[in-house]
Amino acid sequence: MYRLYLAGPDVFLPEPLAAGKAKKALCALYGFEGVYPLDAVLDLDGLAGPQAAQRIALANEAAMRSCHAAIANMTPFRGPGMDGGTAYEMGFMRALGRPVFGYTTHPDLFADRTRQFCAGPVRQRQDGYFEDVDGLLIEDFGLADNLMMAIAANESGIPIAVGDGPLRDTGPFEDCLRMAQRVLSGKPFTNA
């Protein structure tokens, strides 16, 4: 059975284990095994913050290596862009050559969200692009997030699934599961 790594800021939700359980149940419905970052049972007792973090991060990396593909929740998180840890995991899986399916529950494009986020007036340059009050470019390629993550998701074979709801909305997540069925069914099964 194909294993899907479930990347996303869902681990920060008020009920992170329930959120993972719901996603794993949906994976099973589509014939996949969902692998959630909080699945690993780690003994963090008595560890200082950085040591606990190391154990978690290395466990997540091992979980990713054990998966055939990933589904990334690219919904904006505390700022105009997606959660950084999820972006990291998209790059990790992509470097391993494994498909990364992406979804977001926010319908606006990255450039529009960034313009709204920036404090102070944004300014349009002669080349048509916008910059913020510090002169920093506002990336604008008509994509849902920074081009590295957006293109990684698109290169999975099917564009980012876009919804319009809260972070925990599983509608576009299910779109990704259908994508995963189409893309992975064309591949012979091998152990990750």
11, 76, 186 from 164: Cα distances, Å: 20, 12, 30
Which range of residues in 17-25, 28-36, 151-159, 180-188 is near its own copies by CB under 8 A? 151-159
Q: Does 32 bind its own copies (CB under 8 A)?
A: no
The dihedral built from the CA positions of residue 160, 162, 167 and 172, taken in this order, carries a sign that is negative
Phi, psi of 11 (to 5 degrees): -65, -15
Written as one letter, the residue type at 77 is: F
| CB of 26 or CB of 82, closer to its own copies | 82
| CB of 90 or CB of 180, closer to its own copies | 90
Phi, psi of 69 (to 5 degrees): -160, 175
What is the closest distance, in whole angstroms, from the C-beta atom of residue 181 to its own copies in the complex? 24
Q: Does 60 bind its own copies (CB under 8 A)?
A: yes
Q: Does 12 bind its own copies (CB under 8 A)?
A: yes
Q: Is there a contact between 68 and 192 (Cβ–Cβ < 8 Å)?
A: yes
Q: Does 13 bind its own copies (CB under 8 A)?
A: yes
Q: Is there a contact between 179 and 157 (Cβ–Cβ < 8 Å)?
A: yes
Q: Of these, 2, 5, 92, 103, which contacts its own copies (CB under 8 A)?
A: 92
The residue to which tokens 């690993």 are assigned: 40
Give which of 78, 76, 74 is closest to 88, Cα–Cα.
74
Q: Of these, 75, 104, 146, 170, which contacts its own copies (CB under 8 A)?
A: 146
Q: Of these, 27, 63, 93, 158, which contacts its own copies (CB under 8 A)?
A: 93
d(CA 173, CA 103): 6
Residues at the interface with its own copies (CB under 8 A): 9, 11-14, 16, 48-50, 52-54, 56-58, 60-61, 64, 78-85, 87-96, 114, 117-118, 131, 134-137, 139-143, 145-152, 154-155, 167
